[in-house]
Amino acid sequence: MGSVRDGVAGSITRPLSIVQEHVGFVPNLFRPLTLQPKLLESFVALLDAILFKQNCLSRVQKESILFVLAAARSNAYCFAWHFQTLKLFGVPEQRLEQIAADYEQVELAPQNRALLKFVLKLGLAGNSISRQDIGDALLGGLTEESLLDAILTTALSRLLCMAALGLRPNLDFSARTLPVPLRRSWGTPRECGGPYLNSPRFEPQDLAPFAFLQEFLRLIPNVFRAQTLRMDALLAELALTEAILFADSGLTRKQKQSVGLAIATADRNIYWMALFSELLGEVGESANSTLTECAVKLAKATPEFAMEAIEALDSKGFTQDQIIEWAVVVSFACFLNTVQFGLGATPEFSPPNLSSPVLEKIVHLPAEEPRHSVDGTPVDPDTEIVARVQVGDVDAFEELIHRHSRRVYRTLVGILADPDEARDAMQDTFLKAYQHLSGFQRRSKFSTWLLSIASNTGIERLRRRKEVESLDGSGLETEEGFRPRQIQAWEDDPEQLYSRIEMRSLIENGVMRLPAKYRVVVMLRDIEQLSAEDAAAALGLGIPALKARLLRGRLMLREALAPHFMKGAKGAAH
């Protein structure tokens, strides 16, 4: 397929002229929506109300929220778009890079620091927001009005990032290198403890969309009542709610509300789970469909999952219009969840029973895989497949090979420094894993257990080569005595110096020349991007030892790469 990217090129309709006026161009994200003019109009009206209209927060503050969140989510499309917009507003490139990498290291006004702290937590871990976070933001210099602006902009950011994944627009500008996301901890999920902000009370007779909701739902949902401080945004949001969720179109109302329920469940948003369940009546077959499963996949927010989801819908015979609509419904459901998390609106109905088979299925496809379950044991996405293999479903093992082969291969290249031998050892690793799977007791994740087998397999081979001491190392890992030799500044954009293939080759050569005990740690942490805990467990190391080796490995790799990336060195290095 691929046609979701396209759309009707040609005349700029009225909504697009609004976008053109305020953005300076029409981002490609809007092109697929031109196939559905009503949807486009409502979508742009929401953007206009939240982003373009002058409110408590300035446009630069709102664009900064969109930019920082796009960076934190590694969303290449939105990152490049908002980078460019902020540049047009006069923010220097270097400052933007610093803010994207870690705003805490940049000199910012206290109010802006409080703003970014709040929106990052709301945008990345909405269900851990509590009254305390609202209090901290108010103490940091924000007002209730500016907080509502921030909540809406954060929700808009989630909508845009999700739409960019689901609609797959071409980049508007050349790709920029995304910063490495910082690992942050956000605290535990909270109950809805709001409403956190004051809002003037409106009744159905005061506001036409409220009258519609009263007639349709027999109540005005608290999440909308909590937004009456920003009437323009509320009206745009209600119009989009009506167009997307309460009307039959390419997808039926039931289908779209089922997608809403799936996204609420994946986000653990009790409020919207309760409301969508009430709307759908009995939670039944309608939720157990390709549409909802693909929605949860899209909400995982990586291009790979998005592609898989779109291809699955395509293969099931959904039309291009339906897929576009589906992507917008998922994006808007994410928007609604984020708004509710920020406002703390309390549910009108009891949430559905999480042990219902349909919801259980959704819960097992979390939007962002949590690292640990409530009781502190690791959450393992492989549990179900491992169980199938353990009861004799041999073919299910192929899925485990598929999921973990690259990780196993990198571990083995890290240890053996020989790609051919690593491929042989990979085969040994999976065969051993299969032989011993009946004894696997889930004290760790399957992937950690598998990597420890890979690690032992690699070490055995080193032992045969009599090189095992190179992995064990000796004495304390310390940076004492380490003196950087390459101390010339690097080019601002080292990625621009070489093609992707050249870059990969430089890095692979640099990594291969590291001593084994550093190489394997760099491989698992920085290339495979395992957490420190998982990498340490796989290699049988303590966290301090792992960190010490990682630091030394990174510094040695920096030394090896420096001649290729220091200012003016490209010619000399070739």
Partner 1 sequence: MISCSDFIAEIGNYLDGEVATEVRAKLQEHLAHCQTCTILVDSARKTLRIVTDAGSFDLPETTFRPIADRIMARIRETAK
Q: Does 557 bind partner 1 (CB under 8 A)?
A: yes
Q: Does 539 bind partner 1 (CB under 8 A)?
A: no
Q: Does 93 bind partner 1 (CB under 8 A)?
A: no
Task: Give the nearest distance from C-beta 486 to partner 1 in angstroms.
Answer: 8
Residue 566, strand partner residues: 490
Total residues contacting partner 1 (rule CB under 8 A)?
65
Task: Give the nearest distance from C-beta 547 to partner 1 in angstroms.
Answer: 6
State the number of CA atoms in the 13 A half-sphere of 291 facing the CB. 27
* Contact set for partner 1, span 214-253 (CB under 8 A): none
φ/ψ bin of 392: left (φ > 0), alpha (ψ from -120 to 50), beta (otherwise):
left
- Residue 214 or 405 having the CB closest to partner 1: 405
Question: Helices 144-167 and 76-88 sit at what angle, rounded to 10 degrees?
Answer: 130
Asked if 150 and 121 touch (Cβ cutoff 8 Å), the reply is no
Q: Residue 190: exposed, middle, or buried by beta-carbon count in 10 A (0-12, 13-18, 19+)?
A: middle
Q: Does 339 bind partner 1 (CB under 8 A)?
A: no
Q: Which stretch binds partner 1 (CB under 8 A): 51-59, 160-168, 236-244, 418-426?
A: 418-426
Q: Does 438 bind partner 1 (CB under 8 A)?
A: no
Task: Give the nearest distance from C-beta 377 to partner 1 in angstroms.
Answer: 24
Question: What DSSP designation does 35 have?
Answer: G
Asked if 119 and 65 touch (Cβ cutoff 8 Å), the reply is yes
CA 315/CA 235 separation, integer angstroms:
37
Q: Binding partner 1 by CB under 8 A: which of 203, 282, 304, 479?
A: 479
Fill in the per-residue mask, 94 to 113: x = in contact with partner 1 (CB under 8 A), - = not in contact: -------xx-xx--------
Q: Does 480 bind partner 1 (CB under 8 A)?
A: yes
Task: Give the nearest distance from C-beta 292 to partner 1 in angstroms.
Answer: 29
Asked if 346 and 222 touch (Cβ cutoff 8 Å), the reply is yes
Length of the chain: 574
Question: Helices 446-464 and 397-416 sit at what angle, rounded to 10 degrees?
Answer: 40
Q: Does 77 bind partner 1 (CB under 8 A)?
A: no
Task: Give the nearest distance from C-beta 411 to partner 1 in angstroms.
Answer: 10
Q: Binding partner 1 by CB under 8 A: which of 113, 558, 563, 569?
A: 558
Q: Does 565 bind partner 1 (CB under 8 A)?
A: yes
Residue 201's identity, in one-letter code, is R
Neighbours of 202 (CB within 10 A): 16
Nearest CA-CA partner of 121 in 338, 282, 302: 338
CA 465/CA 161 separation, integer angstroms:
50
Neighbours of 237 (CB within 10 A): 26
Q: Binding partner 1 by CB under 8 A: which of 391, 476, 489, 572?
A: 489
* Contact set for partner 1, span 387-406 (CB under 8 A): 392, 394-395, 397-398, 401-402, 405-406
In angstroms, what CA-CA distances link 315 with 169, 311, 319, 330, 555? 20, 6, 10, 19, 47
CA 369/CA 72 separation, integer angstroms:
16
Q: Does 494 bind partner 1 (CB under 8 A)?
A: yes
Q: Does 60 bind partner 1 (CB under 8 A)?
A: no
Residue 32, strand partner residues: none
- Residue 104 or 460 having the CB closest to partner 1: 104
CA 289/CA 252 separation, integer angstroms:
13
Q: Binding partner 1 by CB under 8 A: which of 487, 499, 572, 574?
A: 487
Task: Give the nearest distance from C-beta 452 to partner 1 in angstroms.
Answer: 18
Fill in the per-residue mask, 160 to 199: x = in contact with partner 1 (CB under 8 A), - = not in contact: -----------------xxxx-xxx---------------
Q: Does 507 bind partner 1 (CB under 8 A)?
A: yes
Q: Does 72 bind partner 1 (CB under 8 A)?
A: no
Q: Binding partner 1 by CB under 8 A: which of 495, 513, 540, 542?
A: 495
Query: At residue 372, what are phi and psi to the nearest 5 degrees?
Result: -135, 150
Q: Does 573 bind partner 1 (CB under 8 A)?
A: no
Q: Does 473 bind partner 1 (CB under 8 A)?
A: no
Q: Binding partner 1 by CB under 8 A: which of 60, 108, 555, 573?
A: 555
CA 367/CA 377 separation, integer angstroms:
19
Question: What DSSP designation does 405 have?
Answer: H
- Helix or strand holding residue 503 (H, E): helix 500-512
Binding residues for partner 1, rule: CB under 8 A, are: 101-102, 104-105, 177-180, 182-184, 392, 394-395, 397-398, 401-402, 405-406, 409-410, 413, 419, 423, 426-427, 430-431, 434-435, 478-480, 482, 484, 486-490, 494-495, 500, 503-504, 507-508, 511, 522-523, 526-527, 529, 547, 550-551, 554-555, 557-558, 561-562, 565-566
